[in-house]
Structure 1
Amino acid sequence: MSSNLVILTGAGISAESGLGTFRDPDGLWARFDWRELATPEAFAAKPEEVHAFYNARRAGLKTSTPNAAHHALVELEKAWIARGGEFLLVTQNVDDLHDKAGSERLVHMHGELSKMRCEHCGYVHDAFDEITTDLPCLNCRRAGGLRPHIVWFGEMPMEMDLIFDQLGSCDLFVAIGTSGTVYPAAGFSQVAKEAGARCIEINLETTDTSPVFDEVRNGQATQSVPAWVAEMVG
């Protein structure tokens, strides 16, 4: 095994657990206008509508369970670390399926649907089932400041210093189930490549960034990811 592994996952790894993707023809942003639901401006203008959208999505997490791809990455993490390697799993997904599966060295760069943040004091806490505009913060007790702990359009993704630090020293970079169209994540493969890493893409189909990768594997995540992991831990 290489010493430093960075994995990026996108909506494709959770699709087979029944969670909708965003940019597919039948994805969330084909049915809902992100400008009305996923920007700081939208939340400022219509907080009740934004809360209703995310409350519904949060409710959907309760019936979703990790699939074989999520579990395979947990197996890989344990094996990689046991052999002395560095491991970081970066997900663009705001669901909690990696967490439920048992991933530990995990960064949610686009936030977490299962958490809420107070705009008054910055406190982050497990989210209530239903967040409303009149609920008080559990820390500062002020009402009206709770929002989904989500990175909206126009906001900076989380943990970028850590991510770029790991990309700059990784030996192997693997992108799984991500469209390759959302930046900065779409540029991670190029950063890793320039650092000398071998780059592998595992996706349902080829993407705009596929030419950057040394190896491209196409297929369902629940089949392709466990097969790749089996080769790695073999």
Structure 2
Amino acid sequence: MTFGHGADEAESNRMVDLALDAGVNFFDTANAYADGESEILLGKALKGRRRDAVIATKFSNPMGTGPNDSGMSRVHIMQAIDDSLKRLQMDYVDIYYIHHVDTQTPLEEMLQALDDLVRQGKVRYTACSNYQAWRLSEALWLSDTNNWARFACYQPQYSLVVRDIEQELVPLCELKGLGVVVWSPLAGGFLSGKYKPGERTQGGTRSAEGWAYPERYFADNADDTTGTL
């Protein structure tokens, strides 16, 4: 979501209005997007229309310099959801994602804290992003064993040029009944055809700002893929 980084308040409002008018009701953001500004603008755009939308946000990226300002510790989880709800001006979020893996915090601590958020009514469903298949499977087993709220969906990177989730993660999600909500389906704009080998990237794109999307995806068959599209 580019709200706050590429789209100001007026543009964000216009995009949300167009989306709702077209029947789009799912909005996915994160606390770290534009340092929290993305959540603020989304909350403003949906003022008075909360019931018309399904809202997902994420946590785990650093939101400060303190020892508890990142990761999946219970302390950070409890603070992160309150901060997100305040920015969104909402009482709850529909889906609360773990944005990235935290190898320093026990899964049990994280899952029990997320279960508490569901029981408190601040979160409807929990989810994770960028997990390996074995880690996702372990998290689901722990939740089922302890009667904690289990992940309802999983968010991986997936596109025509990044398809590795088809090997293990998609079958696991099918087996365990998880929804799959992918990120970067156009590979950061690469599959739109706007990036060409040897050509300077366009201004206003993430690549022009230092994101290495073209370099990440260019391969021998890259032109064939985008050309077919």
The alignment's TM-score, normalised by the length of structure 2, stands at: 0.28
Higher relative contact order (CA 8 A, sep 6+): 1
Select the structure that is richer in strand: 1
Select the structure that is richer in helix: 2
